[in-house]
Amino acid sequence: MAETEGRVRRTRAARAPVVSEATREKALVVHARLCAEYGCPIAYFHDLDPLSELVSSLLSHRTRNADSGRAFRQLRKRFGDWVAVRDAPTADVEDAIAPVTWPEQKAPRIQAVLRDITERRGTLDAHALDFLGELPVPEARAWLEAIPGVGPKTSAAVLSFSRLRMPALPVDSHHHRVAVRLGLIPASVDVGPAHAILAAQLPPEWDAQTVYDNHEALMLHGQQCCFWQNPACGRCPVLDLCPYGQARLGDAAPREG
Ligand code: SF4
């Protein structure tokens, strides 16, 4: 039987973390400078329904965008709809998503997620998860995270990247690395728990595009400047705010070009 809208099986939504005024201000300055650097507003890269975005997000873990995109298209072309994917022999699904990392794990996980949603919503059509758009973000995230195998990054991606366009903040490994080096979160905080802390640093009235821009700008900074090895601190627009960069270069280091 479909689950009543707004009621969740269990709730992981925790009380919002306490954020100091200094951290809040720093997060805003970082956002403004990185947005200037990377050109906000940044265009959305998907316009999928939320169920399709969920499958796409599950495929994308630890996989290059080009490969997960190819796997997603192959899945759609071979099976046509999500009911057929759910009911197919798992080996066939695994074969269709071969371009991603760990297809042998992702195929049964995707089928289990589709079975779970069928049980809770009574449908797997393109509108099966549209009701999430009527919920506050914390409730919509909690509904998604009640599905085994769906964590904070996936729930935020579904709400933000799909056509729901909700103000939920995803955090990937690039975004996380930049936030740690800038001192917005302690190094001991992993990617999962970082979601709630970083989201609480942003103004609650920000719209979906601005929250999306925040994620994209920090992610792009991680990809194009704040590299895992040898970050380019000398040309970084937030060097003066970054304890990690200052420790590497010294307080008097001039900004390059
Ligand atoms: S100063 Fe260096 S470590 Fe800090 S955010 Fe910039 S590139 Fe990353």
Ranges of each domain in the chain: 21-43+169-249, 50-161
**Closest ligand 1 atom number to CA of residue 236:** 6
CA–CA distance, 104 with 93 (Å, rounded to integer): 9
What is the three-state SS of 154-195? HHHHHHHHCCCCCCCCCCCHHHHHHHHHHCCCCCCCCHHHHH
pLDDT for position 154: 97
**Probe target for ligand 1 pocket from 182, 218, 251, with the most ligand atoms within 8 Å of CB:** 182
pLDDT for position 16: 77
pLDDT for position 17: 87
Residue with CA at minimum distance from ligand 1 atom 3? 245
Return per-residue pLDDT of the chain as tens, 257 residues.
Answer: 344 333 444 344 456 788 999 999 999 999 999 999 999 999 999 899 999 999 999 999 988 989 999 999 999 999 999 999 999 999 999 999 999 999 999 999 999 999 999 999 999 999 999 999 999 999 999 999 999 999 999 999 999 999 999 999 999 999 999 999 999 999 999 999 999 999 999 999 999 999 999 999 999 999 999 999 999 999 999 999 999 999 998 854 444 43
**Closest ligand 1 atom number to CA of residue 246:** 1
Ligand 1, CB cutoff 6 Å, lining residues: 178, 181-182, 225-226, 231-233, 236, 238-239, 242, 244-245
Domain 21-43+169-249 CATH (choose: 1.10.1670.10, 3.40.640.10, 3.30.70.240, 3.40.50.150): 1.10.1670.10
pLDDT for position 146: 97
pLDDT for position 14: 55
pLDDT for position 190: 97
pLDDT for position 164: 98
Distance 167 CA to ligand 1 centre (A): 26
CA–CA distance, 149 with 147 (Å, rounded to integer): 6
Q: Residues with Cβ < 8 Å from 64, sequence gap 6 or more?
A: none
CA–CA distance, 140 with 129 (Å, rounded to integer): 10
Work out the number of other CB atoms within 10 angstroms of the CB of residue 186.
Answer: 10
pLDDT for position 183: 98
Q: Please give the CATH superfamily to which domain 50-161 belongs.
A: Hypothetical protein; domain 2 (1.10.340.30)
Residue with CA at minimum distance from ligand 1 atom 2? 233
Tokens in use for 28?
């805003």
